[in-house]
Amino acid sequence: MDYFKFKEFSIEQRGASCKVGTDGVLLGAWAEVSDAKNILDVGAGTGLITIMMAQRNAQARIDAVEIDKQAVEQACRNILASPWNERIHLVNSDFLSLDSGVGKYDLIVSNPPFFEDSLKSPDERRNKARHSDSLPQAALLKQAAKLLSNRGIISVVLPFNISEKFIREANKTGFFLRRQLNVSPYPYKPYNRALLEFSRIEVEVDSGKLYICEAASGDYSQSYRLLTRDFYLKF
C-alpha cells in the first residue's frame, strides 16, 4: 500500500524501508505528550510518530531526526501535507551527533532499530532502520540524557524480549522506569511488544497490559480501540 490514511492525515510510504505498522501507532498514541513544549522524534522514518505528536499536542514544537536521506524526503512530504507542518522541524542527521537548537526536550520518543545479531537484508536502508548496530541502545540512552530536560521523559517501543535489557541499560544512564505497557496480539499469545517510559525521577511504576484483538471474536479489543481511536479510520 503506497498510502496509509488516518483520520486527520495521510502517510505516503511508497518505497519506505519501514512502512506504517502497529509499533509506531502504539507509541504515537501512548506516549505522554500533554505537558511537553519541545518534543524530539528519533528515527522519524515516514514521519508517522512525529505527526501523531503534533496532532496530540496543539502547542508543542516537534523536532524529528532521521539519518536516511530518502526517508527524510518522504517524511518531509508527509509533514508538509499535514495540518501541523508549521510546528515540525525535520533534520537529516545522525541522532548521536544532534545538537538541540531549542534547548532541552521535555519528551523524546523513538521506535528504535532493535534487531541484534540477526540475519541482515541485502537492503542497506532497511538494515539501518531495523538493526541496532546503527543505533545501539546504550548510545541512544546516553545521547537522550544529554538532550532531555531534568524533568523530561523518554518513551520507546521495543520487542518484549529485550525490554528488561533496555530497562537495565536505562538505569545505568540515570533513567528510571515510570510506565510500562506490555502488548500481545491476543490474550492467549505471549507479549511481543513493550512500551516503556523513563525519567530521571524514581516513582512507582505504572504497569499495564494490552491485547490488540479479542480471543473469541478476533476483532480489535476495546482497549486498543480506545487508545488509537483518534487516528484509525475504522475506529
| pLDDT recorded at residue 189 | 96
Question: Do residues 173 and 205 lie in contact, with contact meaning Cβ atoms separated by under 8 Å?
Answer: no
Q: Which one has a higher pLDDT value, 215 or 171?
A: 171
CA distance 35 to 33: 6
pLDDT digits (tens, 9 = 90+) for 169-193: 999 999 999 999 999 999 999 999 9
67: confidence class by pLDDT, cuts 50, 70, 90: very high
* Domains observed in the chain: 3-228 (3.40.50.150)
pLDDT at 17: 86
pTM above 0.75, yes or no: yes
Grid cell digits, residue 200? 530521571
pLDDT of residue 118: 44
Could you tell me if 55 and 84 are in contact, meaning their C-beta atoms sit under 8 angstroms apart?
A: yes
Q: Is 183 helix (H, G, I), strand (E, B) or coil?
A: strand
pLDDT band at residue 134 under the 50/70/90 scheme: low
| CA dist 101 → 45, 61, 63, 110 (Å) | 21, 12, 10, 19
Residues whose CB is less than 8 angstroms from the CB of residue 229 and which lie 6 or more positions away in sequence, other chains included: 235
Strand 88-92 versus strand 61-66 pairing type: parallel
